[in-house]
Structure 1
Amino acid sequence: MLVVTKRLPKLLTPEQIFMASAFVVNGGNYAYNLILGRVLGPAAFADAAILITMLLVLSFVAMTFQLAVAKFTAGFDPEAREALIAKALRYATGVGIGFGILCVLSAPFLQELFHTASATLFVIFGLAIPLYFAMSVNRGNLQGNQLFVQLSVTYQLEMLVRLVLTFSLLLLFQVEAAYAVSIAIAVSFVAGMFPFQKNNPTRGSKPVLAPEQYKQILQFFVLTAAYELTQIMCNNSDILLVKHYFEAYDAGLYASLALIGRVVYFVTWMFVMILLPKVVLLRKEGKNPLPVLKKYLGYIGLLSLSITAFTFLFPAFSVQLLFGEAYLSVAPLLGWYALATSLFALSNVFAYYFLSLDEYKPVALAGIFGVVQVLLIVFFHASLLEVVIAQVIAMGLLLCAQVSYFVLHSLKLKKASS
């Protein structure tokens, strides 16, 4: 696949290559989880799913650095860009070390909280966290420079190494599942660092960011961090809470449900990654970015509708095909979970669009309804059905709020221009 990716630029645009690669990467990650679920069974899969969920949580936190670097790399001159990358890499590594130490020290608490077989898996995961943050800065640099072919390769390498190493450890060396997953995740972070984008250093004195530039970056970073926190609440809090409130078997069943239902999010994620730098560049050139938003909303809406309809029409078939008969009891919940994820995916487009335009009220909206979702699950978790319906309600309200803000914002702009 890597060789194919390098040859494709002659046939496809970089954006098309990235989209195709994203399908491959998401497909590989999806296959990874599906095979794990089938091989391990619901109870053992619950422990592996916690690590995978922690990886997703980590990706949202590190995404703050990636998006900040991508946004301002696209808009800054070469000298400011060099200063930005150096500072972001230094700060990201420091934050990663801090989170890594916290994860290692809190490993016994995490074991008790999530009822896992061992605390060591959290120690292994924590030791690798700094690498992930450095990797995210590199990806932001590639994304901001619209080097989508190289960006594709970093995601492919991370996915392939994690996939191959996990099942090599499981099947060839008989390593316990949770340890195999944690080791493979750690090593995949190293692989994801390549190719590393080096900036051409400017001659003369060391480049520094102007105070106004630093202020812009800091403002965007803080608000993006707040939004990524809402992503964690909306996209991962349910699995963590279910692992806490339910027995391992039920938690494993729910993890399989979440994995199938979230195919909507995985499929639509690539459009959001392309949307941000495009909107920034269009704004810089004085062009209207609204057609780009409408185009990507159309793509994501069509994909979401198709997947959700399929899961409502063929829930048992979907569960049995992907996970097997051991997981069939969650089939009636599948369509509802896919609906919740679709609502969230559409809300996400509006939020990232406005983030690109330095409009931050949608971040607050996402935060409010992320908290609403957590509270609904905390108070209503008598069954897995209650957990899923809580998410449908929260994400439906979030999408309504984001659309309302978009309409009001558009009317305000029209009034100002008339």
Structure 2
Amino acid sequence: MTISTLVPKLTSEQKFMLSVIVVNAGNYLYNLLLGRILGPEMFADAALLITFLLVLSFVAMTFQLATAKFSVLFENATFKSFIALIYKYAGITGTVIGAAMVVFSGELQQLFNTKSSLMFTIFGLGVPVYFIMSVNRGFYQGTKRFEKLAWTYQGEMFSRLAITLLLIFTITTVSSSILVVIGIFASFFFGLLPFKKEHFVLKVKNVLSKEQSSQISKFFVLTAFYELTQIIINNSDILLVKHYFPEYDAGLYASLALIGRVVYFVTWMFVMLLLPAVIEKKKLGEATAPILVKYVGYVVGLASVVVLGCYLFPELAIHLLFGDAYLSMAPLLWKYAVATALFAVSNIFAYYFLSLDQYMPVVVSGLLGISQILLIVFFHSSLLEVVVVQIIAMAVLLVIQLIYFFFKK
């Protein structure tokens, strides 16, 4: 029994939004329990694995969004040719990335100061499965089969939570980071379900025209570039802090990031709903700006509530979520939430323009993502300084996105 089937009176979009909230809450619970059970030092390695999972999700999102867009635009033989092609390249990309992680696991261990290289090897073995899963999700997203899309996210989240906790509480002779990565690896297979196996045909006659192939390539390359900027903006701070600061401080910062990023996780569902809606409106020749305004309003409202809560009750939030061992991060909590909120709002604008084949905001996001890395590289004398430079970079990004929107409209 899934969340979607428990509320039959809701529309498929409303069921999906409810499911996303539940999935995000489950993922959040997963992070919080690991933080409490493992403590700051051991949690640093677990948080690195979670960050790797987020990075992987952004890379694979390129395939998911491309599948979602062209599932709306293509039909019949054209769609069959496209879906076979996207599965082929998703499998190849996942295999290359996964193999690279396995081969360079030792170097990754040294770079991020982890206790084991095996965690990177196990993670790498699961990467191809994740890419196949993302194409499957893209089909459900583009065709607005939100209930089945919700099932894939629920399966991944619930299995990872249950398997990881079971391993941690029953096996005490194996490193916690190995147990965490085994849970992540297993969850990828549950995320495949329900799998549209009739689409997974690698040998199909290519009937795509040159214009269609060019359209796919252009969207794919620019989406990949934007997802790369999201990886940089969302995860570079944790990776750099893990590199520059001691394990204890890195664990503390990871807890701060997980609480502050609740804004991003909560608002991500609007991006999932925005893309197919905007593409469909554009296809029908209807106005798309009202959809953007509606979702921006939702994101701003939710972000404001989270930031205000972090400002008024920082110690209570950290005490309840991670425990007293992480209380030293309380003064930074609302500041980090502000940086995440600014990015969440600008993210809505970027995906809106991306769905309309307007790519200047994507380029701007890339430049600001690189700027954020450089700012942290040069200004990391304290964790406060790391947070402040992120606020500056994200504020500039949002201002530019707003200027571009009003200029276009």
Sort the TM-score into its range (normalised by shorter chain): over 0.9
> Within 5 A, what are the aligned runs for 1:257-272?
257-272=256-271
How far did 1:268 drift?
Answer: 0.1
**Residue pair 2:84, 2:200 contacting (<8 A) in 1 also:** no
How far did 1:198 drift?
Answer: 4.4
> Within 5 A, what are the aligned runs for 1:55-204?
55-174=53-172, 175-198=174-197
Q: How far apart are the structure 2 equivalents of 1:212 and 1:253?
A: 51
Q: How far apart are the structure 1 equivalents of 2:163 and 2:284?
A: 45
Amino acid at match of 2:11: T
Q: How far apart are the structure 1 equivalents of 2:206 and 2:277?
A: 26
Give 1:413's aligned residue.
Answer: none
Q: How far apart are the structure 2 equivalents of 1:358 and 1:74?
A: 15
* 1:246-297 CA-partner distances (Å, limit 9, x unpaired): 0000000000000000000000000000000000000001100111000000
Distance 1:121 1:201, change over 3 A: closer
Q: How far apart are the structure 2 equivalents of 1:220 and 1:387?
A: 33
**Residue pair 1:50, 1:240 contacting (<8 A) in 2 also:** yes
SS of the equivalent of 2:300 reads helix
How far did 1:82 drift?
Answer: 1.2
Alignment pair present for 1:356 and 2:335: no
Q: How far apart are the structure 1 equivalents of 2:154 and 2:353?
A: 29
Q: How far apart are the structure 2 equivalents of 1:276 and 1:378?
A: 34
* 1:152-205 CA-partner distances (Å, limit 9, x unpaired): 000000001100010111001224210111111111111100101245799xx8
> Within 5 A, what are the aligned runs for 1:228-377?
228-377=227-376
Amino acid at match of 1:329: S
Amino acid at match of 2:317: S
Q: How far apart are the structure 2 equivalents of 1:336 and 1:372?
A: 19
Give 1:29's aligned residue.
Answer: 27
What are structure 1's unaligned runs of at least 5 residues?
Answer: 411-418
Alignment pair present for 1:391 and 2:384: no
What are structure 2's unaligned runs of at least 5 residues?
Answer: none
Q: How far apart are the structure 1 equivalents of 2:199 and 2:41?
A: 51
Amino acid at match of 2:297: G
Amino acid at match of 1:362: P
Q: TM-score, normalised by structure 1?
A: 0.95
Percent of residue pairs bearing the same amino acid type:
56
Give 1:416's aligned residue.
Answer: none
How many residues are paired up?
A: 406
**Residue pair 1:121, 1:182 contacting (<8 A) in 2 also:** yes
Amino acid at match of 1:273: M
**Residue pair 2:4, 2:16 contacting (<8 A) in 1 also:** no
Amino acid at match of 1:31: L
> Within 5 A, what are the aligned runs for 1:7-46?
7-8=6-7, 10-46=8-44
**Residue pair 1:82, 1:201 contacting (<8 A) in 2 also:** no
Distance 1:199 1:288, change over 3 A: farther
SS of the equivalent of 1:180 reads helix
**Residue pair 1:57, 1:236 contacting (<8 A) in 2 also:** yes
Q: How far apart are the structure 1 equivalents of 2:206 and 2:371?
A: 44
Q: How far apart are the structure 2 equivalents of 1:268 and 1:353?
A: 14
**Residue pair 2:87, 2:200 contacting (<8 A) in 1 also:** no
Q: How far apart are the structure 1 equivalents of 2:71 and 2:90?
A: 16
Give 2:51's aligned residue.
Answer: 53
Amino acid at match of 1:347: S
Q: How far apart are the structure 2 equivalents of 1:346 and 1:201?
A: 36
Q: How far apart are the structure 2 equivalents of 1:327 and 1:201?
A: 46
Q: How far apart are the structure 2 equivalents of 1:182 and 1:6?
A: 31
* 1:10-68 CA-partner distances (Å, limit 9, x unpaired): 41111001000000000000000000000000000000000000000000000000000
Q: How far apart are the structure 2 equivalents of 1:199 and 1:348?
A: 34
* 1:105-156 CA-partner distances (Å, limit 9, x unpaired): 1111110111100100000000110000000000001101100000000000
* 1:198-245 CA-partner distances (Å, limit 9, x unpaired): 45799xx84521111111010000000000000011000000000000
Q: CA RMSD in A?
A: 1.3
* 1:366-386 CA-partner distances (Å, limit 9, x unpaired): 001001100000000000000
Q: How far apart are the structure 1 equivalents of 2:5 and 2:216?
A: 33
Q: How far apart are the structure 2 equivalents of 1:199 and 1:385?
A: 52
**Residue pair 1:154, 1:192 contacting (<8 A) in 2 also:** yes
Amino acid at match of 1:248: E
Amino acid at match of 1:101: A
**Residue pair 2:83, 2:199 contacting (<8 A) in 1 also:** no
How far did 1:6 drift?
Answer: 3.0
**Residue pair 2:91, 2:131 contacting (<8 A) in 1 also:** yes
**Residue pair 2:271, 2:351 contacting (<8 A) in 1 also:** yes
SS of the equivalent of 1:347 reads helix
SS of the equivalent of 1:232 reads helix
Amino acid at match of 1:66: Q
Q: How far apart are the structure 1 equivalents of 2:230 and 2:200?
A: 35
Task: Could you list the structure 1 runs, at least 4 aligned residues long, displaced by more than 6 angstroms after superposition.
Answer: none
**Residue pair 1:312, 1:335 contacting (<8 A) in 2 also:** yes
Q: How far apart are the structure 2 equivalents of 1:330 and 1:146?
A: 41
**Residue pair 1:162, 1:184 contacting (<8 A) in 2 also:** yes
* 1:340-396 CA-partner distances (Å, limit 9, x unpaired): 000000000000000000000000010010011000000000000000001000000
**Residue pair 1:170, 1:176 contacting (<8 A) in 2 also:** no
How far did 1:7 drift?
Answer: 5.0
